[in-house]
Structure 1
Amino acid sequence: MKNRTIRPFLTAILSFLTFAMLLSGCGKVKPSESTPDSNDTTETTSQGDLLTPEEYEESITGAPWTRQNHLYIHYLRTDASTYPEWDLWVWQKVPRDLQGHAIDYFMQDQSGVIFAVDLTHPELLGATKIGFLLVLKASKNKTEGMWVSDASANVYVNDIPNLTRPDGTIHIFCTEGNSLLYTFFYEGAEAEDPFLNDTGQLESRTNVDSSSTSAYPVAQTSPDFANNAGVGYQIQVSSFADSDGDGLGDINGITAKLDYIESLNVNAIWLTPIQECESYHGYDTIDYYKIDARFGTLADYRNLIFEAHKRDIRVIMDLVVNHTSKNNLWFTRSAQVKTTKDMHGNDVSYRDLYHWKYSTTELDEPWYRFGTTNYYYYAKFSSGMPELNYDNQTTRDFMVDVAKYWLGFGVDGFRIDAVKHIYMKDEVAVNSNDVVEDYDSVKGIDYSSDRGKNINFFKEFNKRIKANYPNAFLVGENFDGYDQRIAPYLAGMDALLDFPSYYHFVNNTFHAKENNANTEGTSVIPSKINTYNSKRQGKAIISGFTSNHDVERALNHANNEITGTGSNTTEHHTHITNTNIETKNKRALVYNGAMILQPGLTWVYYGDEIGMSGNITPNNAENAPADAIGQDWNEDRFYRQPMKWVEVGAEDQEMTTNFKFSGYSVPLDDYNKNHLHSVSLQEDEQFSFLNKMRAIMALKGNSQYKDFFIKGTYQGISDNGNVMAWRYSYNGQSISIYCNFSNANVNLSGTLPGTVVYRTAPTNPHQTLEPYGIAIYK
């Protein structure tokens, strides 16, 4: 189990142990003593009686084979003859996420073999968090699949500077199959084994009828967001703004850019995950209550919320509730069969927080064996991300407590990741009669989900947090392109990210594959509104987005080629170049404008407001590790490129990010680097893409017309097939919006209102709408 003890405590314990040894004396054989070289292997095994844990601890304090600024990893296996088959892979995780290097053990004693990790190594110098794997050497020669490691997941040592013993060393102790549960003190070769003589009694338990629909009613929609929030801004934290020069975006960088964000006229910001995690993107939580040190501190986050609220900007936390990292304390305690007490003094089992199945024969994925036990845990997306067991009430209570903690801290709501993956079809017994089939024929993986159970969970989750925080906002991510399939989830949350519009909108508007642009406004959108409201007592919040961290950027999306017919189409990635960029930008602007001015709360993805591209650059020797060259691994990082604050080569890069993760770099693509004007340039250009976007966002986010878009009644307007047109009526008045998705002038039909609210080409005749133009009248 991981120990967060600070240095003074370590010093006190070790001083006590040393004093105890002086009193008792030992006279038993100490570990073999030699000078370590982390690149040489010297097998030296102690003989004679074993030392007690206390005696062993005293013996390694200041031992001749130890050196200051070294981390010693002790690894004990049942069969000592297998030690030569294993080595250590170690890397810096924080502040720089580097690729790593291999180390052989240099000595052997009663604690097993010992690996010496030199913390002054160029790849490790300055590390505050280090990752390691105990790896079966033969598996490194595999051409496919992952290496075989003792933990089946990355293992991390946190807070390196504060773990040092008085002699300048750090020691951690691992046993076969349990390196994830390492300790900072030697506990002996005969450590307590909770699985001794077990024959299946430690499977996880269930005590919730997750198919019950009667327990919790639909919670009220957030009044604050329903009445006041029209434009949101999504920030990829790692790529947005770097305040401390380490190359990685951070919380203080966002705070420093709040004036810029406010100038965009947004009412809410959504940050990708900032809780302690393994990856740079953050969707594998290690500690739900801790801010990841790479992004800042709890005080930094508190200050961001305070400064955002001063500007009437709400803060949305990205919350991952379906799975955790294997390094999450909940999981390590679950693996150790630990218990605790709840506030009423009742026993609570960590074991039941996850799915554990007993089997003496090997189970197929997504069940993964834990160490050398006969227990398998369920992990649908990666062996390193075990799924939580929401058929146990303790798990539900724990997650509600997490949400209430952050709402009490000051956040205004949550973007819930992967809402359809709380209950997978193959995770628990299916008995809700509401399963959505979803088979990935390319990967050969069944992602089918139990929608009925998922909805019932979120009805409870939303109702319980709203009991204390009625203005809290929940928006769910359901990666699905069909309104009818995702709408039922609105019984459990205020809003859903509108993937159906993202996927079908360009089909209907630019390409007329399913419908045409006018039908989108007169039929598709009204149908969506009615469908969504029917699931949420007439109070659903539609939550569209220009793009996000998982999909094509708006500039690419609006210019991509689409083949096929009807809804059976394929979108082909277009590499944006500077050729005909004016037309490409016009297409992106009318697409962004139409999305932003839809009903509800629309999210603008950082960089879309300046016309950033998301060109995918093939993995090569300059941007990826050697084994990724020629593969499509981590291509989505090109949707998460650095925000271009200033021109490339400017003396002051003004918080521009520049970081790597696991050997991958996240650079600007060729268009963004060489042709796109930065924020600093576009600020001074009257008709820049940024200033056009700012004007559109102001209509819905911060103007006299805001209430029309947020509170008004929607009605489609019939017109030319290439024109999407609609009006909002509010307090006896109305405004009308026209968007031309063709490359030709269109003469609008009917009598138009006389007052021009906004036009992309204000000098055009009143009835004429230019190619890819927007006109708004009152």
Structure 2
Amino acid sequence: MKIKISIAFAGLLCIALSSFAFPAKQKGDDEIIYHIFERSFFDSNGDNHGDLNGIRQKLDYLQELGVTAILCTPLYESIYYHNYFAIDFKKIDPRYGTLQDYLALIRELHKRGMKFYMDMETQYVTEDSEWWKDALGNPKSRFSDYILWDDKENKKPSSIVYNLTELKGYDGVTHKITTANLNSAKSKEYNYQLFSYWLDPDKNGKFEDGVDGFRLDHMMDNLDNKGTLPHLFDTFWNPLLTRLRAINPKIKIVAEQANWFGLGLDYLQKGGVDRVFGLRLAFAIRLFRKDLLMANADSTLAMLPPGKEQVVFVENHDVPRFASEVKGNLAKLKVGCALNLLMGGVPAIYYGQELGMTGTSAKFGATDANEIPERQAFEWYASGQGKGMAYWYKQTGPYKDEFNDDKPNDGISLEEERKDPNSLFNYYKAMIRLRKSNRAITKGSYKTLINNNDQVFSFIRQNSDKAVIVVVNLSDKDQAATVDAPYARGKKIGQFIGKESPTVNDGKMPVNLPAYTIAAWTVE
């Protein structure tokens, strides 16, 4: 979750589906995450809000796409539409369904061999929570230690990030927010009981109804850099995660590093997490700049501590949609897809990314409505109307008439794209299948390959005795380049993506690429 006024980020790709050479489907543990803003995904009961049963009804679609795991934004009850800043961490938002609905979804995912990750942000609560109501002005409250106070009388709850003490919701209503006291013994035990419940709700040790891991939103060692909650890696996060792994050693913990322009290595080395988000790499992909791609791919993918991973993505719920950034250019969208899935790490796809959905942060002032354009209803139908459309943001509030990215018959919908073999949706399906066909892509190491063209980016993914070389034209003009590929010297070169079959002489690979094209070859 990011509260922001604005966040700015400094033809046609001709690969028909028939040009992909598909080996037999490979079994293995390759993971592709589908990141869902669940209020906007699919409405199962006609109240305009996406819900848990809606996700469960669309699992066939997710498996058709090829994803293997789901990451949802928070499910717990909150006064805010995005469910960050909780009222009650232990209660499923009633708009999403019941606890039974949630458990049914988890069991069905596991039955299908899929995983579920839960987004958690227990650092903040609102004035609507039981903690606040009981402890405000009452130092003797049993919840007094759950909240960070700026005074001894419990009359001044501490501010949150950016020194905010309140936030206006998209509905125009303002609520007060405060910071949880993560260093109190009661708070630490509460978090352990909370997280451990979601790991194994029925406590039978089998985990068929439990999450496969957590996304830790806005994780920091020194919360909000205020000095009031320092050294949280040592005092809070590591002890908590150690206890959780004692329950289920297989869980994966991914941290959203608060510093978006850092690599997150401190989280991997000192914070006890398994994964961080490849934020700098995401920005580089979005900008189509070779220098940034080289610098950030090397640091993001080639400098990881053993056993640690980066989540590679191009968009999420906190940034403008990639399609808006590239002005709907289909060729650039397909290059972004290929880089998202082929470079390395654990790829994550934000719901609707596979359709090229658009949306850019609004400028309504200090309100959480600014991010709604990036979180609009999944476009199931060409008309924009039909069963399951989750238009919750068009029902109420001062901004309900401001969101119009879902234009009918604009080519951006699952209904339209399914039947178009050149669509972005079908490209994502093909690229995911292609990814799963080659272990050098799913599990191989990453290394940038040097070439002599500033508009061409090249790299190799290598696993044991096999490799895949990938070359990308980042420009809107045809480009020629010579790639330094010493690994390919004397090896057999096979087609992976594209039609050209280059020859390698003394470790040099000459290539010619049309505008915004990606090509790749196997090396054995």
TM-score (norm 1): 0.55
1:455-534 aligned within 5 A: 456-484=235-263, 486-490=264-268, 491-492=270-271, 493-507=273-287, 509-510=288-289, 515=291, 520-521=293-294, 523-533=295-305
Give aligned-pair identity as a percent.
25
Which of 178, 181, 203 aligns to 1:389? It is: 181
Q: Note if 1:757 corresponds to 2:496.
A: yes
Q: How big is the alpha-carbon RMSD for the aligned residues of Structure 1 and Structure 2?
A: 2.6
User: How far off is 1:667 after superposition?
Assistant: 6.8
Cα distance in 2, alignment partners of residues 730 and 422 from structure 1: 38
For the structure 1 residues 541 and 391, does the alpha-carbon distance in structure 2 shift closer, same or farther, using more than 3 Å as the test? same
Aligned residue for 1:352? Answer: 145
User: How far off is 1:505 after superposition?
Assistant: 3.7
User: How far off is 1:633 after superposition?
Assistant: 6.4
**Partner secondary structure for residue 547 of structure 1:** coil
Cα distance in 2, alignment partners of residues 671 and 697 from structure 1: 26
**Partner secondary structure for residue 339 of structure 2:** helix
Aligned residue for 1:738? Answer: 471
**Partner secondary structure for residue 682 of structure 1:** helix
Q: Note if 1:414 corresponds to 2:214.
A: yes
Q: Note if 1:611 corresponds to 2:356.
A: yes
Aligned residues: 455
Counterpart code for 2:376: Q
Q: Note if 1:548 corresponds to 2:296.
A: no
User: How far off is 1:684 after superposition?
Assistant: 1.2
For the structure 1 residues 683 and 530, does the alpha-carbon distance in structure 2 shift closer, same or farther, using more than 3 Å as the test? closer
Which of 190, 194, 198 aligns to 1:398? It is: 190
Q: Note if 1:718 corresponds to 2:510.
A: no
Contact 2:283–2:314 (CA under 8 A) maintained in structure 1: no
User: How far off is 1:500 after superposition?
Assistant: 1.5
User: How far off is 1:307 after superposition?
Assistant: 1.5
For the structure 1 residues 732 and 391, does the alpha-carbon distance in structure 2 shift closer, same or farther, using more than 3 Å as the test? same
User: How far off is 1:480 after superposition?
Assistant: 2.6
For the structure 1 residues 421 and 592, does the alpha-carbon distance in structure 2 shift closer, same or farther, using more than 3 Å as the test? farther
Counterpart code for 2:250: N
* CA offset digits 1:484-539 (Å, max 9, x no partner): 5x3201232111112222234444x34x5xx26xxx34x53223335432xxxx12
Which of 225, 237, 243 aligns to 2:44? It is: 243
**Partner secondary structure for residue 269 of structure 1:** strand
Contact 2:458–2:469 (CA under 8 A) maintained in structure 1: yes
Which of 615, 626, 641 aligns to 2:376? It is: 641
User: How far off is 1:390 after superposition?
Assistant: 1.7
1:2-401 aligned within 5 A: 228-335=29-136, 336-337=138-139, 349-358=142-151, 375-380=155-160, 381-383=164-166, 384-401=176-193
Cα distance in 2, alignment partners of residues 552 and 252 from structure 1: 27
**Partner secondary structure for residue 319 of structure 2:** coil
Contact 1:243–1:250 (CA under 8 A) maintained in structure 2: yes
* CA offset digits 1:432-475 (Å, max 9, x no partner): xxxxxxxxxxxxxxxxxx5x434653222221111111111111
Aligned residue for 2:460? Answer: 727
For the structure 1 residues 377 and 605, does the alpha-carbon distance in structure 2 shift closer, same or farther, using more than 3 Å as the test? same
Cα distance in 2, alignment partners of residues 524 and 677 from structure 1: 31
For the structure 1 residues 695 and 288, does the alpha-carbon distance in structure 2 shift closer, same or farther, using more than 3 Å as the test? same
User: How far off is 1:642 after superposition?
Assistant: 0.8
User: How far off is 1:250 after superposition?
Assistant: 0.7
Q: Note if 1:665 corresponds to 2:437.
A: no
Cα distance in 2, alignment partners of residues 666 and 396 from structure 1: 43
Aligned residue for 1:143? Answer: none
* CA offset digits 1:538-589 (Å, max 9, x no partner): 12111121211110111123x2xxxxxxxxxxxxxxxx4xxxx5xx121122
User: How far off is 1:742 after superposition?
Assistant: 1.0
For the structure 1 residues 715 and 482, does the alpha-carbon distance in structure 2 shift closer, same or farther, using more than 3 Å as the test? same
For the structure 1 residues 615 and 472, does the alpha-carbon distance in structure 2 shift closer, same or farther, using more than 3 Å as the test? same
For the structure 1 residues 295 and 739, does the alpha-carbon distance in structure 2 shift closer, same or farther, using more than 3 Å as the test? same
For the structure 1 residues 357 and 716, does the alpha-carbon distance in structure 2 shift closer, same or farther, using more than 3 Å as the test? closer
Contact 2:332–2:516 (CA under 8 A) maintained in structure 1: yes
For the structure 1 residues 334 and 708, does the alpha-carbon distance in structure 2 shift closer, same or farther, using more than 3 Å as the test? farther
Q: Note if 1:704 corresponds to 2:437.
A: yes
- Structure 1: runs of 5+ lacking an equivalent: 1-226, 340-348, 360-372, 430-449, 560-575, 620-627
Task: From the CA coordinates, give the structure whose radius of gyration is larger.
Answer: 1
For the structure 1 residues 323 and 421, does the alpha-carbon distance in structure 2 shift closer, same or farther, using more than 3 Å as the test? farther
**Partner secondary structure for residue 316 of structure 1:** strand
* CA offset digits 1:604-630 (Å, max 9, x no partner): 1111101111145676xxxxxxxx8xx
Counterpart code for 1:358: D
Cα distance in 2, alignment partners of residues 327 and 635 from structure 1: 23
Which of 416, 437, 462 aligns to 1:681? It is: 416
Cα distance in 2, alignment partners of residues 592 and 717 from structure 1: 20
For the structure 1 residues 253 and 280, does the alpha-carbon distance in structure 2 shift closer, same or farther, using more than 3 Å as the test? same
For the structure 1 residues 427 and 664, does the alpha-carbon distance in structure 2 shift closer, same or farther, using more than 3 Å as the test? farther
Cα distance in 1, alignment partners of residues 380 and 54 from structure 2: 12
Cα distance in 2, alignment partners of residues 551 and 415 from structure 1: 17
**Partner secondary structure for residue 296 of structure 1:** coil
Q: Which has the higher contact order (CA 8 A, sep 6+)?
A: 2
Aligned residue for 1:18? Answer: none
For the structure 1 residues 773 and 632, does the alpha-carbon distance in structure 2 shift closer, same or farther, using more than 3 Å as the test? farther
Aligned residue for 2:347? Answer: 602
For the structure 1 residues 529 and 374, does the alpha-carbon distance in structure 2 shift closer, same or farther, using more than 3 Å as the test? closer
Counterpart code for 2:275: A
Contact 1:642–1:668 (CA under 8 A) maintained in structure 2: no
User: How far off is 1:777 after superposition?
Assistant: 1.3
Cα distance in 2, alignment partners of residues 479 and 758 from structure 1: 37
User: How far off is 1:394 after superposition?
Assistant: 1.9
User: How far off is 1:674 after superposition?
Assistant: 5.0
Cα distance in 1, alignment partners of residues 143 and 384 from structure 2: 52
Aligned residue for 1:694? Answer: 429
**Partner secondary structure for residue 433 of structure 2:** helix
TM-score (norm 2): 0.80
For the structure 1 residues 420 and 293, does the alpha-carbon distance in structure 2 shift closer, same or farther, using more than 3 Å as the test? same
